[in-house]
Structure 1
């Protein structure tokens, strides 16, 4: 893994999000901070997780939002314009149960074909944990509160509203697995 990966990811996300979407940038910084807190349980994949956490919402950037589905837009940008590491791109594409939202949008097959789910559930769970325990302002919050915040922010019958209700038990399970791993670590 390139030792400059996290630095590159941070510069890229900042350039795409900080000026146009400052609240999304604050969330991104919080998610990246959560990822750095997991470094001791991730070993060799710690840098990859921090980079994915930093880039997970880059597809919201106005100039990149081509389909309106940020995981797909972000992953395509990273792959096509930057030739980013395949594992990184697949984590961004599939973060926080994106396949379920893609299904609600009628594009699950597109996401699955272009960016198959990474066969490393530990890393997938870790990114879910980082994203779903961080508020839109970048502050720490429980996964249950985060799900409730998303439910309140989006129309119930829209794709995000439908998706988050379906994803909630999966989010809780992924966060619980990471929290158990953290609790098992010696202090």
Structure 2
């Protein structure tokens, strides 16, 4: 999916219906646009950054689990397997899917390992709901405050922290290696 189309799809589904979510997505994608020129996977990262939360759109929420709903919508719209997998598995979604009993459905998509995935997770988990850059620890604290203890996000968070932290650490190491530490 080309970058303009990714942005347009996200805007069409999120801007009016979920303006705060749209602010978050814009923050993630704006930061991805800074990183993009520094590696071959940049265009994929930028497109995935625009699309990662499209599954929150009320008209797409078949399961109400946004990574799965987003990936299914993208597949239906003709997105490639990599894009669908990045959206399906972003930010430790497998842990949440397991809590919800949706892991088998999520596994209809491949979990793409590697730099693009780590950078997407990093950007998502260091961008506030309002689109501002925040630390990983502050973002995780904000997530804990936003969701009650019985919510599936809260229940999955502890079990996913090692995966989340690992992705952030790998992303930060790579960003440092290309001279972008502290810039995105």
Sort the TM-score into its range (normalised by shorter chain): over 0.9
Q: What does the per-residue CA deviation read over 1:65-86, in whole Å, with 9 as the maximum and x for residues that have no partner?
A: 1101000101111111x11121
Aligned counterpart, 1:143: 136
Separation of aligned partners in 2, 1:165 and 1:174? 15
Q: CA deviation at 1:142?
A: 0.5
Separation of aligned partners in 1, 2:34 and 2:121? 14
What does residue range 1-187 of structure 1 map to in structure 2 within 5 Å?
5-41=2-38, 43-80=39-76, 82-112=77-107, 114-118=108-112, 120-186=113-179
Q: What does the per-residue CA deviation read over 1:23-77, in whole Å, with 9 as the maximum and x for residues that have no partner?
A: 0000000010121122244x22100110001000000000001101000101111
Q: Does the residue aligned with 2:60 lie in a helix, a strand or coil?
A: coil
Q: CA deviation at 1:157?
A: 2.1
Checking the alignment, whether the CA contact within 8 Å between 1:48 and 1:88 is kept in structure 2 is yes
Please tell me the root mean square deviation across aligned C-alpha atoms, in Å.
1.3
Q: Does the residue aligned with 1:44 lie in a helix, a strand or coil?
A: coil
| Deviation >6 Å, runs of 4+ | none
- When normalised by structure 1's length, the TM-score is 0.92
Separation of aligned partners in 1, 2:179 and 2:171? 15
Unmatched tracts of structure 2, length 5 or more: none
Q: What does the per-residue CA deviation read over 1:70-129, in whole Å, with 9 as the maximum and x for residues that have no partner?
A: 00101111111x1112111110111001111100101111111x11211x3222111101
Shift in CA distance, 178/65, structure 1 to aligned 2, threshold 3 Å = same
Q: Does the residue aligned with 1:38 lie in a helix, a strand or coil?
A: helix
Shift in CA distance, 176/162, structure 1 to aligned 2, threshold 3 Å = same
- When normalised by structure 2's length, the TM-score is 0.93
Checking the alignment, whether the CA contact within 8 Å between 2:60 and 2:70 is kept in structure 1 is yes
